[in-house]
Amino acid sequence: MQHEIRAPSLDVQAFAESTRPRSGRDLLSNYERLIEETQGLGADNPVEWSVQGALRADQTGASQAWLHLTLAASLPLTCQRCLGPVEQALAVDRWFRFVETEALAEAQDDDAEEDLLVTSRQFNLAGLIEDELLMALPLVPRHEACPAGLKMAVADPGFDAQEPEKVHPFAALAKLRRGSPD
Ligand SMILES: [Zn+2]
């Protein structure tokens, strides 16, 4: 398999027809919105990506382009309980189906279990990778068990009660994309 770094733009139909997988190891620093989440930390962390296209027949026998995306990355975030650094591993494994227009995607979205995307001859794969990793971020990053030393540093009686539970900026986006009722 060819070694790549940056995720390419894809001619969706041609990629689905070829069924040749592509993969690479990008750097976190190439994803502006992810680097904002880490406040500039972890710029050299790898973002492992791989994609494979496929053509499948729909119920009428018409051929449709699909894309399988897998991602693995690790982001240094700030634990919202002890305010210490927490390395957050992210993994994504999703299938997408391509439709011709945004209107079709909206019309079919409620009935489809898979995620729908609008087809393109220059599909922005890096943009999709960044969207998916942002949505995979925890709403409130925290250690499973905070290191004792760090917890002591911020220990005060009101801390637990005042725990911020801040709304992650991408929580709204994630809800939108997943169609959650609340
Ligand atoms: Zn912690």
Identify which has the larger pLDDT, 41 or 171.
Answer: 41
Per-residue pLDDT tens for 39-56? 999 999 999 999 999 999
Per-residue pLDDT tens for 93-150? 999 999 999 999 999 888 888 899 999 999 999 999 999 999 999 999 999 999 976 5
Dmax of the chain from CA atoms? 64
Å from CA of 20 to ligand 1 middle:
42
Q: What is the pTM of this model?
A: 0.79
Å from CA of 26 to ligand 1 middle:
28
What are the domain boundaries of the chain? 3-178
Q: What is the pLDDT of residue 58?
A: 86
Å from CA of 38 to ligand 1 middle:
15
Å from CA of 29 to ligand 1 middle:
24
Q: What is the pLDDT of residue 59?
A: 84
pLDDT (mean) for 141-164? 64
Å from CA of 147 to ligand 1 middle:
6
Å from CA of 92 to ligand 1 middle:
24
Å from CA of 39 to ligand 1 middle:
17
Å from CA of 140 to ligand 1 middle:
11
The highest-confidence range among 71-75, 105-109, 172-176, by mean pLDDT, is: 71-75
Residue with tokens 């990778």: 129
Residue 30 has pLDDT above 90, yes or no: yes
